[in-house]
Structure 1
Amino acid sequence: MVRNRIIATLSVLLLLAGCAAIPQISCPAGEERSVNELLYFGTAKPNGVVTSQEWEEFLRTSITPRFPKGLTFWRAFGQWQNSGKTIIREASFVVSLVHSDDELSAIAVHAIITEYKLRFDQEAVLRVKGYACVGK
């Protein structure tokens, strides 16, 4: 499938980009170095789309328990280009997480992605990870 090849190509590019050294950031007094993640969840699936009710259930049972201190999500509409140069448009949900830079949080994010892909028959969930200084 064309979409599989595109996702595979993007995955390799993201993995290679992930190998680049990320400069350590130094935060001002009173702020803490944290991870800022954006997760992009597509909604198209073989037998329809992920409904608002399905999304809210996933949010309640999979994401919120892993990040109970807070998160932000919004509806989005994105696009990608297949190998035939056709632009494919798809509704999606974006989740923003700000959390500690630790193994437990990384495992939690990976579990969320894996669960979404399995539950909704998705080929991928895009994960964009960066660092930020956070003050409360």
Structure 2
Amino acid sequence: MKAMIAALAALLMLSACAMPAPAPAPASAGAALHGDPAHPAAASGWVRTELYFGIGPVGAPERGVSEADWRAFLDREVTPRFPSGLSVVDLYGQWQGTKDPTPQRLRSKLLILLYEDTPAHRAAIDAIRSAWKRQTGQLSVLRVTQPAEVSF
């Protein structure tokens, strides 16, 4: 009986190997914005930049930057430089300056930008960071930039 069950199990496993591959997705499932230069079907030479902004201490929403002030900053400093789109994520972060005895726990915003890697775009990123530091008096805005393969 055990041999029969083992043989049946082996037969079932082998039959799964003979299943045909799934059909490819229809052409209409491709890039919806094909041909739009700002949203290419596929592009090389693009990067993803993440900017981390501290907006205020955790547990003290009355201190720091309000949501309205954050949106005004986006409208004034970011959107004109990157009108094709961006993403913002609310998060918690920690930062410890060289003179801080313990880490500062901060409400934070993560700004994610995907763009063609050009000197003008890199200068725009630096301008955004400088504007935030001027507006808030903060010492830094963490920047992470890496190559990105994109399609829309």
TM-score when scaled to structure 1? 0.71
- What number of residue pairs does the alignment pair up? 107
Matches within 5 A, 1:13-28: none
Unmatched tracts of structure 1, length 5 or more: 1-28
- Map 1:11-90; keep pairs closer than 5 Å: 30-44=42-56, 48-81=63-96, 86-90=102-106
Identity, % of aligned pairs? Answer: 35
How big is each residue's C-alpha offset from its partner over 1:38-89, in whole Å with a ceiling of 9 and x where there is no partner? 00001138x9301101000000111001000000001111113456762321
SS of alignment partner, residue 35 of structure 1: strand
In 2: Cα distance, 1:133 partner to 1:125 partner = 25
Where does the alignment leave 5 or more consecutive residues of structure 2 unmatched?
Answer: 1-40
Q: Which amino acid aligns with 2:111?
A: V
- Partner of residue 110, structure 1: 126
Contact (CA 8 Å) 2:42, 2:149: kept in 1 or not? no
Check 1:88–1:103 CA distance in 2 against 1; reply closer, same or farther (3 A cut): same
1:100 to 79, 99, 116: 116
Larger radius of gyration: 2
Structure with a larger share of its residues in strand: 1
Q: Which has the higher contact order (CA 8 A, sep 6+)?
A: 1
RMSD after superposition: 2.2
Query: SS state of the match for residue 62, structure 1?
Result: helix
SS in 1 for 2:52: strand
Partner of 1:135: 151
